[in-house]
Amino acid sequence: MNGDASFASITRRGLLVGSASLAAAAVGPVVGARAQATQGARHGLSVFGDLKYGPSFQHFDYVDPAAPSGGRMAFTAPSWAFNQNPQTFNTFNTFILTGDAPPRMELCFDTLMVRALDEPDAVYGLVAETVEVSADGNLYVFDLRRDARFHNGSPLTAEDVAFSLATLKEKGHPAIRQTLTEMAEAQVLSPHRVAVRFTGRQSRMTPLAVTGMPILSKAYYARYDFEGTTLTPPLSSGPYKVARHEIGRFIEYDRVADWWAKDLPVARGHFNFKTLRLEFYRNRTAGFEAFKKGTTTFREEFTSKTWATEYNFPAVEEGRVIREEIPDGRPSGGQGWFLNTRRPIFSDVRVRQALGLVFDFEWTNKSLFFGAYQRTHSFFQNSPMFAEGEPSAEELALLEPFRDDLPEAVFGPAVLAPVSDGSGNDRTMLREADRLLRAAGCRRDGATLLTPDGAPFRFEILSNSPTFERVVLPYAKGLARLGIEARFRVVDPAQYQSRVNTYDFDVVSRRFPLSATLGEEIRQLWGSRSAETPGGNNLSGIRSPAVDALIDAALSATSRERMTVAARALDRVLRAGYYWVPHWNKPVHTVAMWDLFGRPGDPPDYDFRPELHWWVDPQKAKRLGKGG
């Protein structure tokens, strides 16, 4: 998330499939289905059938297969997968709701297939050498590589894959369980063949999400409780494993020298660092000081003030630390203050619209951000799915069935975030906000605004870091002009995560990235079912039949063009609902690094993961005295 304020992780979506029944029912129905409809072994999958890389490809284009290996990258990291906390950790179990796991635990686990980051959604075989798909798309049969191994040398087999999918569906993090809702069963056909059957109600992204699920050791979890928090690193099979660590301070992941997959095309040129070290700091100031000293060697800067004014320390002036703005071609996603509509004070759309009018982005960007950002209007910003102007005929066809239940604004020009005069006290915007609040039944009692039930209008903006205070306080000052009391409250990371997981907040700030091809994550963001699912991402508590139907339309689209139309219609509905106060975005990654890294060039279009593709340049490291 921008500090002025994470596919690599698993996409999201519980029907029990017991592991005993998987083996018992292994052959019969699956063989019959395959006889009907399989279409030949494939080396990769994509939502709409197009693959950039052929069966004999040697490596992805965005890596250097001759990159040297060794050294380490030390950095702080945002979380990419479930149940991860970038500020501390108290468990290595990242696949359940309980506890806080460290970021990058997903690097310890292999998956059936992995994403190509220069394609919108394509995946290619890792543990799965090939996959066969039935004509109706409801059955996927994976042929596993015979040399796949866990770190203790035990073979990774179809039993482990079937056990993993069944366990994650039954006991995993709620977001994982929701992802796997339409996976009917996983069946062992032979030691190296596993069939995954879907209900027929799955979205087009669900099978690809299944290929990205972590593969667990069935034998290991026969002895250890999958649902328990633990500081014993679990048995895994991926390119890295947990090494030295100290709770609240750091964790190191060491590359597995004899990782069974290191010479596969999907792995070549990856995982060049011998050690990835993640440092934990309770605030950005401490993290920045650590970078200045060289304790961390890579930093993506999310605070515009720091980027503009504080990179003037000796290592920068001497050229030992370099700064770059690296292009970011991904959809911007959505960052903002999410208004919890489970709270009565935010249940009226006019109130939510009024709160958005008070935020003076133009003043904030000029006075606090040094003009570094542009305004966000939508979760689909910087993508073809961003709705503009009047709805098209195709969009109207999707929206018309819900006309009586939707605001009229949905059927006009797409709602845009307001533009202020940049003064920090735009009276026109404040007057309109006051009008909307009064229309919603609020009234003034002296300097205090009262809600329709007569209580003072006050709420809390919850955070796990004080960094955002400089942005919140001017916003709170504007709200105070309307008689609203907005308090900024910072709590420790564990309490923050617990409260967010249980939706025990008024307002929180969060950034949600979106992929170029929509998947089950959008049900987590906006679907009615996820509104009351603990640990979900529907922070605003959106419950709308229209939104649910448009999500279904986007996820069941048979072409990218149809998906885009459905997404634009969905965008109009979400923007007219004013479920959040949108923040800002920028089209580049602002990164600083000690000058010891080599890299293949610009990052791939659909992700930015330097720890996966970069390396330590031996000559640079020697010059800096950072060879280790």
pLDDT at 3: 53
Lookup: tokens for 600: 């293949």
Q: Cβ(90)–Cβ(220) under 8 Å?
A: no
pLDDT at 627: 57
Q: What is the DSSP-derived secondary structure letter of residue 604?
A: P
> In terms of C-beta density within 10 A (0-12 exposed, 13-18 middle, 19 or more buried), how is residue 22 classed?
buried
User: How many whole angstroms separate alpha carbon 47 and alpha carbon 33?
Assistant: 21
Q: Is 276 helix (H, G, I), strand (E, B) or coil?
A: strand
Lookup: tokens for 437: 């609040």
pLDDT at 96: 93
Query: What distance separates the 2 farthest-apart alpha carbons in the chain?
Result: 77
pLDDT at 467: 85
Query: 126 vs 104, 145, 240, 461, CA distance in Å?
Result: 18, 8, 15, 43
pLDDT tens digits, one per residue of 538-596: 999 999 999 999 999 999 999 999 999 999 999 999 999 999 999 999 989 999 999 99
Backbone angles phi, psi at 315, to 5 degrees: -65, -30
Q: Cβ(15)–Cβ(186) under 8 Å?
A: no
Q: Is 38's pLDDT higher than 60?
A: no
pLDDT at 4: 55
Lookup: tokens for 296: 């961390």
pLDDT at 224: 95
Query: 581 vs 291, 357, 382, 486, 510, CA distance in Å?
Result: 32, 9, 18, 14, 11
pLDDT at 333: 84
Q: Is 15's pLDDT higher than 70?
A: no
Query: 614 vs 71, 103, 160, 603, 622, CA distance in Å?
Result: 11, 18, 32, 10, 17
pLDDT at 272: 98
Backbone angles phi, psi at 388, to 5 degrees: -135, 145
Which whole number is the average pLDDT over 389-415?
Answer: 97
H or E element, residue 395: helix 393-399
Q: Is 158 helix (H, G, I), strand (E, B) or coil?
A: helix
Q: Is 513's pLDDT higher than 90?
A: no
Q: Is 25's pLDDT higher than 50?
A: no
Of 296-300, 463-467, 490-494, the range with the highest mean pLDDT is 296-300
pLDDT at 332: 86
Q: What is the DSSP string of 428-462?
A: HHHHHHHHHHHHTT-EEETTEEE-TTS-B-EEEEE
Report the b/e string of 251-261 with b at 16+ CB within 10 A. Answer: bbbbbbeebbb
pLDDT at 515: 87
Which whole number is the average pLDDT over 191-216?
Answer: 95
User: How many whole angstroms separate alpha carbon 113 and alpha carbon 144?
Assistant: 10
Measured in whole angstroms, the distance separating CA 422 from the mean position of its chain's CA atoms is: 32
pLDDT tens digits, one per residue of 593-616: 999 999 998 789 888 999 999 999
The pLDDT mean for the chain works out to 91
Which whole number is the average pLDDT over 76-80?
Answer: 72
Q: Cβ(520)–Cβ(473) under 8 Å?
A: no
User: How many whole angstroms separate alpha carbon 575 and alpha carbon 395?
Assistant: 15
pLDDT at 84: 77
Residue 31: pLDDT band with limits 50, 70, 90: very low
Report the b/e string of 189-214 with b at 16+ CB within 10 A. Answer: beebbbbbbbeeebbbbbbbbbbbbb
pLDDT tens digits, one per residue of 145-202: 999 999 999 999 999 999 999 999 999 998 899 899 999 999 999 999 999 999 999 9
Q: Cβ(151)–Cβ(236) under 8 Å?
A: yes
Place of tokens 């279009």: 605
pLDDT at 82: 61
Residue 241: pLDDT band with limits 50, 70, 90: very high
Q: Report the chain's terminal Cα–Cα distance, integer Å.
A: 30
Q: What is the DSSP-derived secondary structure letter of residue 403?
A: G
pLDDT at 602: 79
pLDDT at 381: 93
Span of 156-170, 287-301, 323-337, 434-448 with lowest mean pLDDT: 323-337
pLDDT: is 100 or 474 the higher one?
Answer: 474
User: How many whole angstroms separate alpha carbon 519 and alpha carbon 530?
Assistant: 14
User: How many whole angstroms separate alpha carbon 441 and alpha carbon 452?
Assistant: 5
pLDDT at 578: 98
pLDDT tens digits, one per residue of 432-457: 999 999 999 999 999 999 999 999 99
Task: Calculate the CA dihedral of residues 94, 97, 98, 102 and round it to 10 degrees.
Answer: 30
User: How many whole angstroms separate alpha carbon 623 and alpha carbon 626?
Assistant: 8
Residue 625: pLDDT band with limits 50, 70, 90: confident
